[in-house]
Amino acid sequence: MSTTWLPCGDYHQSYREDHAWFQTAFIKGKMFILAVVLLVFVPWLADSYWISVCNQVGYTVLGALGVQLLIGFCGQVTLGHAAFIAVGAYTSTLLILEFPWPRFILDIGLAYPISIGAAAVVAGFWSVLFGLPSARVKGFYLILTTMAAQFITVDFIITQYVSQIGGRGQAFSLPPGTIKIGPWVIDSDIKVYYMMIVLSTLCIMGIANLLRSRAGRAWVAIRDNDISAEVMGINIIKYKLLAFFVAGAIGGVAGAFWISNLAAISPEHFTWFWSLWLVGVILIGGVGSIHGAIFGSIFMVVVMELLQLAVMPLAGEYPKLLMDFLFVKEAAFGLAICIFMIFEPNGLAYRWWQVKNYFNLWPFSY
């Protein structure tokens, strides 16, 4: 059944209509406005700092989408997602720096786009490897196996071996001009921003489409009750591993995107804390909702930055306030999770749904 509220007396007459992306002219209008805001107004009005904050939001969204898919839609709790982001970032970096591309590929600026695709595939398969235990274990035990992904991938393989490729110690630095899409050299915050918008949109559309397919329904069934799902004939191992693949692939895209933002990479960029942070993002945003990953990312990045800007005028009187801000941020992170768990366990996405419904049903929104 469609989740869109239609004017009284309007009914869908086919499944095609029922599953359409944008079902009413009003929704199409809203989407158009959103596109104008994101593609025109934000780049026009925001300075370099706010654009970089948006990029940070985009990176968090890309990271959180995979976590949302695993935890929110398939019920497979993960605490090692930073590892898959790292695999994507290193795959992309190594392909750009070390792979012997034919001259014409470099000339037409295809090395980086190809590396994003390759990053998604490699990170997807790497994620499947660590999803294999999900066939036998669940709950806390699965959390531990996903944590193993973090330590084996980042602390061992990437640090010990991958980082050493090219004899450059730990950090890779991408020379200016190497991150290029066609003739478009990604060398400013605004270009990174546009790339982030494109990648985020593609990933969100990809996941949204998957969720309304057979695979999406299987994932939700597994989340709700894996034994019942199996009894209904769903191959739960296949669909769990598919969820790990898709989540890892989106993580890989996030990693490949991240290198364009910094033009440098080291294992320290992908700490276990980042995996934990992404879980916090979806808890606050709302588990089991694509909006949740987006709202959670906005909350965790933008609200924290605003909080920081709000305390800055006090820094003249209390200079230590800025130094202690990370404590405030960490405390706010913990507190926000507690508050949301108690007062709004469905997260910001549910609140958004309520607000939307209020207006959709107005003036009869009781």
Q: Which residues bind another protein (CB under 8 A)?
A: 47-49, 52-53, 56, 59, 154-155, 159-160, 167, 169-171, 173-174, 176, 187, 189, 261-269, 271, 273-274, 301, 305-306, 308-315, 319, 322-327, 330
Q: How far is the CB of 358 from another protein (least distance, A)?
A: 17
Q: What is the DSSP annotation of 279-330? A: HHHHHHH-TT-HHHHHHHHHIIIIIHHHHHHHHGGGGGT-THHHHTHHHHHH
Specify the residue, 167 or 233, whose C-beta has the smaller distance to another protein: 167
Specify the residue, 173 or 346, whose C-beta has the smaller distance to another protein: 173
Q: For residue 181, what is the DSSP state?
A: E
Q: Are strands 264-265 and 172-173 parallel, antiparallel or unpaired?
A: antiparallel
Q: Are strands 172-173 and 184-185 parallel, antiparallel or unpaired?
A: unpaired
Contact 209, 73 (CB under 8 A): no
Contact 282, 293 (CB under 8 A): yes
Specify the residue, 194 or 325, whose C-beta has the smaller distance to another protein: 325
Q: How far is the CB of 340 from another protein (least distance, A)?
A: 18
Specify the residue, 191 or 217, whose C-beta has the smaller distance to another protein: 191
Q: How far is the CB of 38 from another protein (least distance, A)?
A: 19
Specify the residue, 168 or 214, whose C-beta has the smaller distance to another protein: 168
Q: How far is the CB of 157 from another protein (least distance, A)?
A: 11
Reported as type and span, the H/E element at residue 172 is strand 172-173
- Coil/strand/helix, residue 365: coil
Q: How far is the CB of 288 from another protein (least distance, A)?
A: 26
Task: Look up tokens 């790292």; give the residue.
Answer: 86
